[in-house]
Structure 1
Amino acid sequence: MFTHIVFFKLKEASEENIQKARKILESMRGQIPELKDIEVGVDVIKSERSFDIALITRFDSREDYQKYAVCDFHVNNVLQFIRPMCECSKTVDYGV
Protein backbone atom coordinates (compact mmCIF):
# COMPACT_ATOMS: atom_id res chain seq x y z
CA MET A 1 0.00 0.00 0.00
CA PHE A 2 1.29 3.45 -0.95
CA THR A 3 -0.19 6.61 0.61
CA HIS A 4 -0.02 10.14 -0.81
CA ILE A 5 -1.17 13.00 1.45
CA VAL A 6 -1.48 16.61 0.33
CA PHE A 7 -2.23 19.64 2.51
CA PHE A 8 -3.65 22.68 0.70
CA LYS A 9 -3.59 26.32 1.83
CA LEU A 10 -6.02 28.29 -0.32
CA LYS A 11 -5.35 31.86 -1.45
CA GLU A 12 -8.85 32.77 -0.33
CA ALA A 13 -10.24 30.33 2.23
CA SER A 14 -13.89 31.33 1.98
CA GLU A 15 -16.43 28.60 2.63
CA GLU A 16 -17.41 28.74 -1.04
CA ASN A 17 -13.80 28.18 -2.21
CA ILE A 18 -13.18 25.44 0.32
CA GLN A 19 -16.27 23.55 -0.85
CA LYS A 20 -15.35 24.11 -4.51
CA ALA A 21 -11.86 22.69 -3.91
CA ARG A 22 -13.31 19.77 -1.94
CA LYS A 23 -15.69 18.96 -4.80
CA ILE A 24 -12.86 19.09 -7.37
CA LEU A 25 -10.72 16.71 -5.30
CA GLU A 26 -13.59 14.32 -4.62
CA SER A 27 -14.37 14.19 -8.35
CA MET A 28 -11.47 11.72 -8.68
CA ARG A 29 -13.48 9.04 -6.86
CA GLY A 30 -14.16 6.22 -9.33
CA GLN A 31 -12.43 8.01 -12.22
CA ILE A 32 -8.83 6.78 -11.84
CA PRO A 33 -8.34 2.99 -11.79
CA GLU A 34 -5.09 3.16 -9.77
CA LEU A 35 -6.72 5.24 -7.01
CA LYS A 36 -7.94 2.70 -4.44
CA ASP A 37 -9.12 5.07 -1.70
CA ILE A 38 -9.61 8.81 -1.34
CA GLU A 39 -10.44 10.98 1.66
CA VAL A 40 -10.86 14.76 1.63
CA GLY A 41 -10.95 16.59 4.96
CA VAL A 42 -11.68 20.24 5.66
CA ASP A 43 -9.91 21.86 8.61
CA VAL A 44 -12.21 22.74 11.51
CA ILE A 45 -9.67 24.23 13.96
CA LYS A 46 -8.53 27.11 11.72
CA SER A 47 -5.39 27.86 13.72
CA GLU A 48 -2.45 29.86 12.41
CA ARG A 49 -0.65 26.56 11.64
CA SER A 50 -3.62 24.97 9.88
CA PHE A 51 -3.92 24.16 6.21
CA ASP A 52 -7.43 24.39 4.74
CA ILE A 53 -7.86 20.95 3.16
CA ALA A 54 -6.19 17.57 3.44
CA LEU A 55 -6.29 14.97 0.67
CA ILE A 56 -5.40 11.37 1.49
CA THR A 57 -5.08 8.96 -1.42
CA ARG A 58 -4.06 5.30 -1.39
CA PHE A 59 -2.67 3.05 -4.10
CA ASP A 60 -1.57 -0.57 -4.34
CA SER A 61 1.99 0.52 -5.16
CA ARG A 62 4.27 3.47 -5.75
CA GLU A 63 4.11 2.68 -9.46
CA ASP A 64 0.31 3.07 -9.38
CA TYR A 65 0.76 6.45 -7.66
CA GLN A 66 3.15 7.51 -10.43
CA LYS A 67 0.53 6.58 -13.06
CA TYR A 68 -2.11 8.58 -11.16
CA ALA A 69 0.19 11.61 -10.95
CA VAL A 70 0.23 11.97 -14.75
CA CYS A 71 -3.17 10.55 -15.72
CA ASP A 72 -5.42 12.77 -17.83
CA PHE A 73 -8.24 13.05 -15.29
CA HIS A 74 -5.89 14.08 -12.47
CA VAL A 75 -4.00 16.60 -14.62
CA ASN A 76 -6.91 18.08 -16.62
CA ASN A 77 -9.82 17.87 -14.18
CA VAL A 78 -8.08 18.40 -10.85
CA LEU A 79 -4.64 20.02 -11.01
CA GLN A 80 -5.72 22.52 -13.66
CA PHE A 81 -8.36 23.93 -11.30
CA ILE A 82 -6.79 23.37 -7.86
CA ARG A 83 -3.38 24.93 -8.54
CA PRO A 84 -4.70 28.46 -9.24
CA MET A 85 -6.73 28.33 -6.01
CA CYS A 86 -3.74 27.45 -3.82
CA GLU A 87 -1.31 29.63 -1.99
CA CYS A 88 0.78 26.53 -1.29
CA SER A 89 0.62 22.79 -0.77
CA LYS A 90 2.75 20.23 1.06
CA THR A 91 2.94 16.47 0.62
CA VAL A 92 3.84 13.34 2.52
CA ASP A 93 4.30 10.06 0.64
CA TYR A 94 4.97 6.67 2.18
CA GLY A 95 4.61 2.97 1.57
CA VAL A 96 4.00 0.16 4.03
Structure 2
Amino acid sequence: MSDTFKPTAAVAKQAARGLELRQKFNRGGTQVGVARARDLKNQRNLSEDTMKRMKSYFARHKVDKRAKNFGDDDNPSAGYIAWLLWGGDAGRDWVKEQLQ
Protein backbone atom coordinates (compact mmCIF):
# COMPACT_ATOMS: atom_id res chain seq x y z
CA MET A 1 0.00 0.00 0.00
CA SER A 2 1.33 3.46 -0.87
CA ASP A 3 1.54 6.36 1.58
CA THR A 4 -0.74 8.56 -0.51
CA PHE A 5 -3.64 7.94 -2.84
CA LYS A 6 -4.56 10.08 -5.86
CA PRO A 7 -8.30 10.17 -6.64
CA THR A 8 -9.32 8.98 -10.08
CA ALA A 9 -10.96 11.21 -12.68
CA ALA A 10 -14.31 9.48 -12.02
CA VAL A 11 -14.07 10.25 -8.30
CA ALA A 12 -13.12 13.87 -9.05
CA LYS A 13 -16.10 14.21 -11.39
CA GLN A 14 -18.55 12.94 -8.77
CA ALA A 15 -17.15 15.30 -6.12
CA ALA A 16 -17.39 18.24 -8.51
CA ARG A 17 -21.02 17.34 -9.25
CA GLY A 18 -21.73 17.23 -5.52
CA LEU A 19 -20.27 20.72 -5.09
CA GLU A 20 -22.40 22.01 -7.99
CA LEU A 21 -25.60 20.51 -6.59
CA ARG A 22 -24.84 21.77 -3.08
CA GLN A 23 -24.39 25.29 -4.39
CA LYS A 24 -27.51 25.13 -6.56
CA PHE A 25 -29.84 23.64 -3.91
CA ASN A 26 -28.15 24.98 -0.77
CA ARG A 27 -28.27 21.64 1.04
CA GLY A 28 -26.36 18.43 1.58
CA GLY A 29 -23.10 17.66 3.29
CA THR A 30 -21.10 19.27 6.06
CA GLN A 31 -18.05 21.51 5.95
CA VAL A 32 -15.95 18.35 6.26
CA GLY A 33 -17.74 16.90 3.24
CA VAL A 34 -17.18 20.10 1.26
CA ALA A 35 -13.47 20.07 2.13
CA ARG A 36 -13.26 16.42 1.10
CA ALA A 37 -15.01 17.21 -2.19
CA ARG A 38 -12.54 19.98 -2.96
CA ASP A 39 -9.61 17.64 -2.37
CA LEU A 40 -11.20 14.94 -4.51
CA LYS A 41 -12.19 17.34 -7.29
CA ASN A 42 -8.63 18.65 -7.44
CA GLN A 43 -7.24 15.11 -7.31
CA ARG A 44 -5.05 15.92 -4.33
CA ASN A 45 -3.13 13.05 -2.82
CA LEU A 46 -4.93 11.65 0.23
CA SER A 47 -3.41 9.99 3.27
CA GLU A 48 -4.26 6.50 4.40
CA ASP A 49 -6.09 8.02 7.40
CA THR A 50 -8.26 10.07 5.05
CA MET A 51 -8.99 6.98 2.98
CA LYS A 52 -10.07 5.15 6.15
CA ARG A 53 -12.38 8.06 7.05
CA MET A 54 -13.89 7.87 3.58
CA LYS A 55 -14.43 4.14 3.96
CA SER A 56 -16.14 4.78 7.28
CA TYR A 57 -18.34 7.50 5.75
CA PHE A 58 -19.56 5.19 3.00
CA ALA A 59 -20.29 2.39 5.48
CA ARG A 60 -22.34 4.72 7.72
CA HIS A 61 -24.22 6.46 4.93
CA LYS A 62 -25.11 3.65 2.54
CA VAL A 63 -28.63 3.80 4.02
CA ASP A 64 -28.97 7.30 2.51
CA LYS A 65 -29.28 5.62 -0.88
CA ARG A 66 -32.80 4.50 0.10
CA ALA A 67 -34.04 8.07 0.54
CA LYS A 68 -36.56 9.67 -1.77
CA ASN A 69 -34.81 11.63 -4.54
CA PHE A 70 -31.47 9.92 -4.08
CA GLY A 71 -29.91 10.12 -7.53
CA ASP A 72 -32.32 12.80 -8.75
CA ASP A 73 -30.29 15.68 -10.19
CA ASP A 74 -33.45 17.82 -10.61
CA ASN A 75 -34.44 17.65 -6.92
CA PRO A 76 -31.66 15.77 -5.10
CA SER A 77 -31.91 14.60 -1.53
CA ALA A 78 -29.40 16.08 0.90
CA GLY A 79 -27.98 12.58 1.33
CA TYR A 80 -27.39 12.25 -2.41
CA ILE A 81 -25.49 15.54 -2.49
CA ALA A 82 -23.42 14.49 0.54
CA TRP A 83 -22.69 11.10 -1.07
CA LEU A 84 -21.38 12.85 -4.17
CA LEU A 85 -19.23 15.18 -2.08
CA TRP A 86 -17.37 12.10 -0.82
CA GLY A 87 -16.87 10.85 -4.40
CA GLY A 88 -20.14 8.99 -4.96
CA ASP A 89 -20.20 5.35 -5.96
CA ALA A 90 -16.90 5.87 -7.78
CA GLY A 91 -15.33 7.07 -4.52
CA ARG A 92 -16.76 4.18 -2.54
CA ASP A 93 -15.44 1.64 -5.03
CA TRP A 94 -12.05 3.33 -5.33
CA VAL A 95 -11.52 3.50 -1.55
CA LYS A 96 -12.55 -0.14 -1.15
CA GLU A 97 -10.13 -1.22 -3.87
CA GLN A 98 -7.24 0.84 -2.48
CA LEU A 99 -7.63 -0.34 1.11
CA GLN A 100 -7.80 -4.06 0.36
Compute the TM-score of the two structures, normalised by the length of structure 1.
0.31
Query: If each structure's strand is expressed as a fraction of its own residues, which one has the higher value?
Result: 1
Compute the TM-score of the two structures, normalised by the length of structure 2.
0.30
Q: Which has the larger radius of gyration?
A: 1
